Structures are given as structure tokens and as C-alpha cells.
Structure 1
């Protein structure tokens, strides 16, 4: 909200409806007008959809200082067997992991919400994937874990149906987001805007 508030204040003729969508929206059904998320190459190649690169999210593993003082710092992937791992899915530590990662652990906590993972890590529950700037914003001292061995980068795209290619609000909103400092683009955001000219801005990633 901190990132998009100046845009909304400058364009008070629109209102927005923020949605959290697990799957890519149905543009044809008018579910949203703009979707912001990590997308598959197959999705990018669809002629009826415009997709523009927006930013890259770089996930790394972190643990709290209190956790590593009690459990120690793993020196290799194999050391993770002795630790509690917090992951996005049962198959992978990181979000949108299309190929299951060959990481086994005795204790496993699955949370599909980035902020909830951050809270779990801060409360000494275990080792979990966070965006580095989220780790820096933490009120506790978080310790990087195996940064050179386990990481994931997700390219985030601003997508919308080709039918809105000439829509000024859609283009202006993309240009505005591109102009922001990198760390401002840190939220999961879906917008469906209601406007006089019948436009919907935006979804998730």
C-alpha cells in the first residue's frame, strides 16, 4: 500500500479492489484487469496477453539469532536434516517451485504466506525463505543460512489482456511502478479497479 498510495492519490477518479489470487486470473471473464505475479514461459507466450517485466524477487533462507544459538548454523544442505524448515509447499522451500527440491527434513512446517513465514522465523520456529529486504526490516537480527547453496529468484511480470493495450491508465500504472525504488515493490498485490471508463487495475504474483 505504501508503494501504490501516491498513484491512487494522483488518480482519484478510480477506486481499487485488491485481491489475493492463488492462480492466474481469467482475463476473458473480467476477473481482473491487471495481474502482477511470477508467470510460466507458456503464459508469457500467449498472444492475447501482454506481459512486461517489472522486478525480480530474490528469496534466501534465514533463521533468528536465538534459533541458531540453540540449534547451530547448518554448513551444508545435508545439515538441514537436524533443523525445522519452514516452506511454502510440501515439495519445495521456496514459492512457485516447479521442480520439487530434494531436501528432506525431520520436521517441516508449511506456510504459504510470506509475512507468516517471516513471523515464524522471527519467533525462533525454524529456518525459512524470505526476501532479503524483508529480513533487513525485521526487528530481530536474522541470520542468513546457506546463501550460496539455496536460493531462488522469481521474475515478476505486469500482465494484462491485449484488449487493454491502448488503455492509458493501464500504461500509466505500469510506468509508475517501474519508476519506484526496488524495495518498494515488496507486497503481494491484486487490484481490480472500478473506474468511470470501466477499467480494472490489478492482481497478484
Structure 2
């Protein structure tokens, strides 16, 4: 096995990521046959098959998967070294890939992001919304906003705020059904909860099914939706009563709080990033921006 040629490896990485010679050729500004040739040459250098070529595109072999993970890390390291070199003393520059949950990211975060991209036009911000947590150690994203304390102890973390749940109903629902005055009243109301399996980071998101009920007989729900945003929309439409986190209801005047004197679940939210990015200016300015927004918001 000869030395791995970085150029071929880079072409392999793009092809593996895009899943076809056509797409990767476009991305690389090469002809399709040139991409195919370079990959065949790399397979020859290694004496191993990296792709199974299907009519529908390229599928990585097991060895291909391993090489892709390594190439992916190398590409990421190279990109961050490049970014560090171009990041002059005062201007944070380069890509910043932020991940968080779909609910939090599509409401609280995207509402505030306009100011950040205006302040830092040289940062290429990308927000990856995913309810399955992307792995920062594997470089699936640079930084994360987690709705719980991070499990990986080596990660740097900064608490942003505490998220509180409240119980809501729309004006139309209340006009038709009245407001519950006690927990027992909920048995006679329509309830919206989170579809199974409910994500652990949302803590006791289905509290309304259980509160004031024996363990073996939860409250019947009218609707389950496996997205906080969907629950909020359903509640807004007057379908029923829902317990929602405050980041999703902050600009929903038609939702009214009910049963305001009950103790409800809450959870902490953290900004998290790997030690390797400790001195990154992009990460620093984004962290400071979030901390400031969090302070303004947590009234």
C-alpha cells in the first residue's frame, strides 16, 4: 500500500458525502470520468474496494466507511486550521456549524439570529436542527445548544437559562370549553401531548398525562404530536390544552396560560463546545451573543 494521496482522498471524501459521481463532479468542478478515475486509482493504491457502485449512486463498503470517517475528520481539521489562519486578530471569520433541537432552533434561536449575522458578516453560520444529538467529538457540528447538561464531561459548557413549562389553551378553546380550575378538571378536557418516544432532553414533557392520576391509568389524550412546535400549533388551533416550554410560546398572544399555580417541570439549557475550539473567535463571539440574549430573555 503506497502513501495516501491527499488529493485523491479529498475527492473520495466529496464523493462519499454526495453519494454520486455526478454531484461530486459538480462540487469539485471536474468531469465525472475524472472523479471516477481518481477513485479507482485510490482503490488501486489501497488494494481495497471503497464503493459499491449502484444504479442509484454510490454505497460505501465497510472499509470505505472507515476511510470516510478519517477523511471527514481530516477535512474538518484542515478547514478549522485554514479558518484559524484567516481569522485575523479582530475579525471572526469562517464556518460555524451550530446544532440544536428542531423546536428550540426553529423558534427561539432563529428569531434572534438576524442580529448575529448582521454583526458578523464574515462568519458563515449554519444551523443544523436535529432532535437526535449530533456528536461534537466526531465533528458532526462545531457547537451545540443542549436542552440538558452535557453528558461528555470534557466538553466546555456554559449555562444559558432555565426553560419553564406552562399549561396553555387558545382563546377559542377556552371560549368553547371553559378553563380547568383544578388538576382534576383536566380529566374532562382535551389534552395534547408529545408522541412516543418522548425525548429525554424534554424531561417530563408528558406531565399532563400523569399529574393527579394513578400510575397505571394516565389521562387520555386527544392528540399526540412528536414535535413541540406541532403541539404548539395544535394548541393554537384550539384542539386542546398543552404543556409547552416558554421558548416556543414567547410570541403567541393567542395562547392563554391556565392552571398557573401548579408546580411544573423545568430544565436547564447549555451552550456546549469541544476544548479544541476554546480559542476560536467564531465560537467566542457566538457564545457571548447567546449569553447576552439569554440574559435579556430570562425575565
TM range (shorter): 0.7 to 0.9
Q: For residues 18-167 of structure 1, what are the structure 2 equivalents within 5 Å? A: 18-40=127-149, 43=151, 46-90=152-196, 96-97=202-203, 101=207, 102-103=210-211, 104-132=218-246, 135=249, 137-140=251-254, 142-167=255-280
* Distance in 2 (alpha carbons) for counterparts of 1:150 and 1:184: 21
Match of 1:197 in 2: none
Judged with a 3 Å threshold, the aligned counterparts in structure 2 of structure 1 residues 150 and 81 are, in CA distance, closer, same or farther, namely: farther
Deviation at 1:175, TM superposition (A): 0.7
1:98 to partner: Cα distance: 5.3
TM-score (norm 1): 0.74
Post-superposition Cα deviations, 1:15-59, rounded to whole Å, max 9, x if no partner, equal 12221111322112210011002124x61xx33211110122212
Structure 2 unmatched runs, 5+: 1-109, 212-217
Q: Distance in 2 between matches of 1:99 and 1:113?
A: 11
Once the 2 structures are TM-superposed, how far is the Cα of residue 133 of structure 1 from its aligned partner? 6.7
Structure with greater helix percent: 2
> Which 5+ residue runs of structure 1 have no aligned equivalent?
186-205
1:6 counterpart = 2:112: no
RMSD over equivalenced CA pairs, Å: 2.8
Number of matched pairs: 180
Distance 1:143 1:98 in 2: 21
Instruction: Please identify the structure whose Cα radius of gyration is greater.
Output: 2
Partners of 2:244 and 2:221 in 1: how far apart?
19
The structure richer in strand per residue is: 1
Checking the alignment, whether the CA contact within 8 Å between 2:203 and 2:267 is kept in structure 1 is no
Normalised to the residue count of structure 2, the TM-score between the two structures is 0.53
- Tell me the alpha carbon deviations over residues 164-183 of structure 1, each in whole angstroms, 9 at most, x when there is no partner: 11212111111111122656
Deviations 1:152-174, CA, capped at 9 Å, x for gaps: 22211000111111212111111
Q: 1:95 to 1:150 in 2, by over 3 A?
A: farther
